[in-house]
Amino acid sequence: AQSVTQLDSHVSVSEGTPVLLRCNYSSSYSPSLFWYVQHPNKGLQLLLKYTSAATLVKGINGFEAEFKKSETSFHLTKPSAHMSDAAEYFCVVSLSGSARQLTFGSGTQLTVLP
Amino acid sequence: DSGVTQTPKHLITATGQRVTLRCSPRSGDLSVYWYQQSLDQGLQFLIQYYNGEERAKGNILERFSAQQFPDLHSELNLSSLELGDSALYFCASSSRDSRETQYFGPGTRLLVL
Protein backbone atom coordinates (compact mmCIF):
# COMPACT_ATOMS: atom_id res chain seq x y z
CA ALA A 1 0.00 0.00 0.00
CA GLN A 2 1.09 3.56 -0.55
CA SER A 3 0.34 6.68 1.44
CA VAL A 4 1.51 10.21 2.00
CA THR A 5 1.44 12.28 5.15
CA GLN A 6 1.58 16.03 5.00
CA LEU A 7 2.86 17.04 8.37
CA ASP A 8 1.28 20.50 8.51
CA SER A 9 -2.31 21.32 7.63
CA HIS A 10 -1.54 25.06 7.68
CA VAL A 11 1.67 27.00 7.12
CA SER A 12 1.94 30.74 7.38
CA VAL A 13 4.96 32.72 6.16
CA SER A 14 5.76 36.33 5.48
CA GLU A 15 6.31 37.49 1.93
CA GLY A 16 9.97 37.17 0.99
CA THR A 17 10.75 34.46 3.56
CA PRO A 18 11.42 30.79 2.80
CA VAL A 19 8.67 28.23 2.42
CA LEU A 20 8.90 24.64 3.68
CA LEU A 21 6.01 22.23 3.21
CA ARG A 22 6.69 18.79 4.63
CA CYS A 23 5.69 15.45 3.18
CA ASN A 24 6.52 11.88 4.17
CA TYR A 25 5.57 8.94 2.02
CA SER A 26 5.11 5.25 2.48
CA SER A 27 5.50 2.90 -0.43
CA SER A 28 6.56 -0.70 -0.84
CA TYR A 29 7.89 -0.05 -4.30
CA SER A 30 9.78 2.64 -6.13
CA PRO A 31 7.34 5.55 -6.10
CA SER A 32 6.77 8.53 -8.29
CA LEU A 33 6.16 11.62 -6.20
CA PHE A 34 4.46 14.85 -7.13
CA TRP A 35 3.50 18.18 -5.70
CA TYR A 36 0.31 19.77 -6.99
CA VAL A 37 -1.07 23.19 -6.13
CA GLN A 38 -4.71 24.23 -5.99
CA HIS A 39 -5.60 27.90 -5.97
CA PRO A 40 -9.05 28.87 -4.68
CA ASN A 41 -11.81 27.71 -7.00
CA LYS A 42 -9.29 26.35 -9.46
CA GLY A 43 -8.15 22.94 -10.62
CA LEU A 44 -4.94 21.17 -9.68
CA GLN A 45 -1.71 22.30 -11.27
CA LEU A 46 1.47 20.22 -11.30
CA LEU A 47 4.38 21.95 -9.57
CA LEU A 48 7.00 19.23 -9.94
CA LYS A 49 7.54 15.49 -10.04
CA TYR A 50 10.14 12.93 -9.04
CA THR A 51 10.47 9.72 -11.04
CA SER A 52 13.81 8.22 -9.89
CA ALA A 53 16.08 10.54 -11.82
CA ALA A 54 17.77 13.39 -9.92
CA THR A 55 16.81 13.51 -6.26
CA LEU A 56 16.57 17.31 -6.29
CA VAL A 57 13.68 18.27 -8.48
CA LYS A 58 13.05 21.79 -9.72
CA GLY A 59 9.53 22.85 -10.54
CA ILE A 60 7.63 25.88 -11.67
CA ASN A 61 7.48 29.24 -9.93
CA GLY A 62 10.76 28.72 -8.06
CA PHE A 63 9.66 25.64 -6.12
CA GLU A 64 11.85 22.61 -5.64
CA ALA A 65 11.71 19.35 -3.69
CA GLU A 66 14.27 16.83 -2.56
CA PHE A 67 13.63 13.11 -2.53
CA LYS A 68 15.26 11.51 0.51
CA LYS A 69 14.80 7.77 0.50
CA SER A 70 16.44 7.25 3.90
CA GLU A 71 13.95 9.64 5.47
CA THR A 72 11.05 8.72 3.16
CA SER A 73 10.50 12.43 2.66
CA PHE A 74 9.75 14.73 -0.24
CA HIS A 75 9.59 18.21 1.23
CA LEU A 76 8.69 21.21 -0.94
CA THR A 77 10.69 24.41 -0.61
CA LYS A 78 10.91 27.88 -2.07
CA PRO A 79 13.55 30.43 -1.10
CA SER A 80 11.27 33.45 -1.09
CA ALA A 81 7.48 33.40 -0.80
CA HIS A 82 5.29 35.56 -2.97
CA MET A 83 1.74 36.59 -2.26
CA SER A 84 0.61 34.60 -5.31
CA ASP A 85 1.91 31.41 -3.68
CA ALA A 86 -1.02 31.39 -1.25
CA ALA A 87 -2.90 28.20 -2.09
CA GLU A 88 -3.37 24.60 -1.02
CA TYR A 89 -0.53 22.21 -1.79
CA PHE A 90 -0.86 18.46 -2.16
CA CYS A 91 1.89 15.88 -1.93
CA VAL A 92 1.03 12.91 -4.10
CA VAL A 93 2.43 9.42 -4.58
CA SER A 94 1.99 7.03 -7.46
CA LEU A 95 3.24 3.48 -7.61
CA SER A 96 5.25 2.09 -10.46
CA GLY A 97 3.41 -0.42 -12.53
CA SER A 98 0.26 -0.56 -14.54
CA ALA A 99 -2.08 1.09 -12.05
CA ARG A 100 -1.41 4.79 -12.08
CA GLN A 101 -3.90 6.11 -9.59
CA LEU A 102 -2.59 8.89 -7.42
CA THR A 103 -2.80 8.89 -3.66
CA PHE A 104 -3.10 12.41 -2.28
CA GLY A 105 -1.99 13.80 1.03
CA SER A 106 -4.49 15.77 3.06
CA GLY A 107 -3.10 19.06 1.83
CA THR A 108 -1.26 22.02 3.35
CA GLN A 109 -2.85 25.45 3.21
CA LEU A 110 -0.15 28.06 2.66
CA THR A 111 -0.85 31.60 3.79
CA VAL A 112 1.52 34.38 2.77
CA LEU A 113 1.44 37.46 4.97
CA PRO A 114 2.37 40.90 3.60
CA ASP B 1 -4.74 25.67 -18.97
CA SER B 2 -4.05 21.92 -18.74
CA GLY B 3 -5.90 21.00 -21.93
CA VAL B 4 -8.37 18.83 -20.04
CA THR B 5 -11.94 20.09 -20.21
CA GLN B 6 -14.85 19.25 -17.97
CA THR B 7 -18.51 20.08 -18.26
CA PRO B 8 -20.53 21.35 -16.60
CA LYS B 9 -18.62 23.60 -14.21
CA HIS B 10 -21.40 23.60 -11.67
CA LEU B 11 -24.33 21.29 -11.11
CA ILE B 12 -27.12 21.61 -8.59
CA THR B 13 -29.55 18.75 -8.21
CA ALA B 14 -31.76 17.00 -5.68
CA THR B 15 -31.34 13.82 -3.70
CA GLY B 16 -32.28 10.71 -5.59
CA GLN B 17 -31.47 12.19 -8.96
CA ARG B 18 -28.91 11.09 -11.54
CA VAL B 19 -26.27 13.27 -13.21
CA THR B 20 -23.60 12.82 -15.84
CA LEU B 21 -20.25 14.59 -15.74
CA ARG B 22 -18.21 14.83 -18.88
CA CYS B 23 -14.47 14.98 -19.44
CA SER B 24 -12.41 15.50 -22.57
CA PRO B 25 -8.75 14.54 -22.11
CA ARG B 26 -5.76 16.33 -23.58
CA SER B 27 -5.22 15.62 -27.24
CA GLY B 28 -3.44 12.29 -27.57
CA ASP B 29 -3.92 11.15 -23.99
CA LEU B 30 -5.29 7.63 -23.67
CA SER B 31 -5.82 7.46 -19.92
CA VAL B 32 -8.59 9.20 -18.04
CA TYR B 33 -8.89 9.28 -14.27
CA TRP B 34 -11.72 10.48 -12.06
CA TYR B 35 -11.22 11.90 -8.58
CA GLN B 36 -13.57 13.21 -5.93
CA GLN B 37 -12.63 16.06 -3.60
CA SER B 38 -14.79 16.54 -0.53
CA LEU B 39 -14.22 18.31 2.76
CA ASP B 40 -14.34 15.17 4.87
CA GLN B 41 -12.61 12.69 2.54
CA GLY B 42 -10.09 14.90 0.79
CA LEU B 43 -9.02 13.96 -2.73
CA GLN B 44 -9.80 10.37 -3.61
CA PHE B 45 -9.21 8.34 -6.73
CA LEU B 46 -12.40 6.87 -8.15
CA ILE B 47 -11.65 5.08 -11.41
CA GLN B 48 -9.28 4.94 -14.37
CA TYR B 49 -9.91 4.15 -18.02
CA TYR B 50 -7.26 3.44 -20.59
CA ASN B 51 -8.16 3.52 -24.27
CA GLY B 52 -11.75 2.61 -23.57
CA GLU B 53 -11.19 -0.07 -20.98
CA GLU B 54 -11.46 0.13 -17.23
CA ARG B 55 -7.97 -0.14 -15.77
CA ALA B 56 -8.25 0.51 -12.06
CA LYS B 57 -10.88 1.17 -9.43
CA GLY B 58 -10.55 3.12 -6.27
CA ASN B 59 -13.12 4.22 -3.73
CA ILE B 60 -15.98 4.38 -6.19
CA LEU B 61 -19.48 3.70 -4.92
CA GLU B 62 -21.69 1.17 -6.69
CA ARG B 63 -24.11 4.02 -7.46
CA PHE B 64 -21.37 5.59 -9.58
CA SER B 65 -20.19 4.35 -12.94
CA ALA B 66 -18.00 5.62 -15.73
CA GLN B 67 -17.12 4.88 -19.30
CA GLN B 68 -14.66 6.03 -21.92
CA PHE B 69 -15.85 6.37 -25.48
CA PRO B 70 -14.00 5.65 -28.77
CA ASP B 71 -13.15 9.35 -29.13
CA LEU B 72 -11.54 9.02 -25.64
CA HIS B 73 -13.85 11.38 -23.81
CA SER B 74 -15.21 10.00 -20.58
CA GLU B 75 -18.39 10.31 -18.59
CA LEU B 76 -18.95 9.77 -14.89
CA ASN B 77 -22.51 8.83 -13.99
CA LEU B 78 -23.72 9.42 -10.46
CA SER B 79 -27.11 8.00 -9.54
CA SER B 80 -29.42 7.91 -6.51
CA LEU B 81 -27.62 10.99 -5.32
CA GLU B 82 -27.23 11.67 -1.63
CA LEU B 83 -26.31 14.86 0.21
CA GLY B 84 -22.87 13.40 0.90
CA ASP B 85 -22.12 13.17 -2.82
CA SER B 86 -21.75 16.93 -2.91
CA ALA B 87 -18.14 17.46 -3.91
CA LEU B 88 -15.75 18.65 -6.56
CA TYR B 89 -15.17 16.00 -9.20
CA PHE B 90 -11.95 16.15 -11.15
CA CYS B 91 -10.96 14.43 -14.30
CA ALA B 92 -7.30 13.95 -15.20
CA SER B 93 -5.58 12.52 -18.23
CA SER B 94 -2.17 11.15 -19.09
CA SER B 95 -0.60 9.89 -22.26
CA ARG B 96 -0.08 6.34 -21.03
CA ASP B 97 -0.48 4.59 -17.74
CA SER B 98 3.15 4.25 -16.81
CA ARG B 99 5.06 6.99 -15.05
CA GLU B 100 3.34 9.78 -16.87
CA THR B 101 2.11 12.99 -15.32
CA GLN B 102 -1.60 13.39 -14.85
CA TYR B 103 -3.05 16.70 -15.97
CA PHE B 104 -6.19 17.83 -14.22
CA GLY B 105 -9.26 19.54 -15.53
CA PRO B 106 -10.92 22.46 -13.71
CA GLY B 107 -13.45 20.19 -12.04
CA THR B 108 -17.22 19.98 -11.79
CA ARG B 109 -18.72 21.22 -8.55
CA LEU B 110 -21.75 19.13 -7.63
CA LEU B 111 -24.22 20.28 -5.03
CA VAL B 112 -26.93 17.87 -3.95
CA LEU B 113 -29.81 19.50 -2.10
SS3 of chain B: CCCCEEECCEEEECCCCCEEEEEECCCCCCEEEEEEEECCCEEEEEEEEECCEEEEECCCCCCEEEEECCCCCEEEEECCCCHHHCEEEEEEEECCCCCCCCEECCCEEEEEC
Q: Cβ of A101 under 8 Å from any chain B Cβ?
A: yes
Query: Which tens digits make up the pLDDT trace of A80-102?
Result: 999 999 999 999 988 655 456 78
High-pLDDT (> 90) share of chain B, %: 78
Position A95 scores a pLDDT of 67
Over residues A26-50, mean pLDDT: 87
Average of per-residue pLDDT across B3-32: 95
Yes or no, beta carbons of B101 and A45 under 8 Å apart: no
Residues B39-49: what's their mean pLDDT?
A: 90
Mean pLDDT of the B90-107 span:
82
What pLDDT is recorded for position B46? Answer: 94
Provide φ and ψ at A61, rounded to 5°: 60, 30
Please state the φ and ψ torsions of residue A62, each to the nearest 5 degrees: 80, 5
Average pLDDT over residues B98-102: 68
Does A99 lie at the interface with B, CB-CB under 8 angstroms? yes
A29-33, B10-14, B82-86, B91-95: range with lowest mean pLDDT: A29-33
What number of other Cβ atoms are within 10 A of residue A80's Cβ?
12
Question: Which tops the pLDDT comparison, A43 or B98?
Answer: A43
Of A43, A51, A99, the CB nearest to B55: A99
Chosen for mutation from A35, A88, A100 (greatest number of chain B CBs closer than 10 Å) is A100
User: Does the pLDDT value for residue B85 go beyond 50?
Assistant: yes
Compute the count of residue pairs across chains A and B with CB atoms less than 8 Å apart. 58
Q: What is the pLDDT of residues A14-35, one digit of tens each?
A: 999 999 999 999 876 778 889 9
B75 touches chain A (CB under 8 A): no
| pLDDT for res A56 | 93
A100 contacts B100? CB cut-off 8 A? yes
Q: According to the model, what pLDDT value does residue A96 have?
A: 55
Q: What is the mean pLDDT of residues B41-55?
A: 91
Do residue B42 and residue A107 have CB atoms under 8 angstroms apart?
A: yes
Task: Please give the pLDDT value at position A98.
Answer: 46
